[in-house]
Amino acid sequence: MKCEQIQELILTDYIDGRMAPQAKGELEKHLMTCHECLEFARVAKAMAVEPFEKGTREKTPESVWMNIKEELLSQEEQPAPGWLDRLREVFHSQFAFPRPVAAFAGMCFVVMAVTLVHFSNINRMPAQMSAEQDEVEYMAALSVRSDVPTSGYGTSVEKYFL
């Protein structure tokens, strides 16, 4: 093996302790003969492994483990979402309108409701409405036909009131 390959291996598998025994043997044999690679291995080990070996292991506080345990237990206790929740989710995802659209829809509903009430009133009082309509038509005729004689229409009622 070339020094380049040896040093590549030193940085990866050798330091990680993941080398197959035979490859490791070859590498260590090279290190015995090659001062450069031996030095490389020493520096690499000093920089990549020893800081962690010397480091003290921090003990996780008991409260952290308790919190994790509680969280896991509470997740187990929660029942799976029912069909109603899923329906609500689907509804929210499908009909999530922006605010102006919702406001517009609300306005349309109000207009529709008012219109419905209005027309149902018309159906309930057809006689009154037709009378009103006659009046409107008469007034319209008056305003349009300026040549209508003001002396009367020659009806029998006028004999009594004019």
| Contacts to Zn ion by CB under 5 A | 3, 34, 37
By beta-carbon proximity to Zn ion, the closer residue of 2 and 59 is 2
Q: Contact, 82 vs 74, CB < 8 A?
A: no
CB of 37 to Zn ion, least distance (A): 3
Q: From CA 32, how far away is CA 34, in angstroms rounded?
A: 6
Q: From CA 83, how far away is CA 91, in angstroms rounded?
A: 12
By beta-carbon proximity to Zn ion, the closer residue of 32 and 80 is 32
Q: Residue type at 158?
A: E
Which tokens in the block code for residue 120?
A: 């149902």
What interhelical angle do 126-144 and 99-124 show, nearest 10?
100
CB of 25 to Zn ion, least distance (A): 15
Burial letters 73-106, b for 16+ CB under 10 A, else e: eeeeeeeeeeeeeeeeeeeeeeeeeeeeeeeeee
By beta-carbon proximity to Zn ion, the closer residue of 4 and 53 is 4
CB of 42 to Zn ion, least distance (A): 13
CB of 41 to Zn ion, least distance (A): 9
By beta-carbon proximity to Zn ion, the closer residue of 3 and 140 is 3
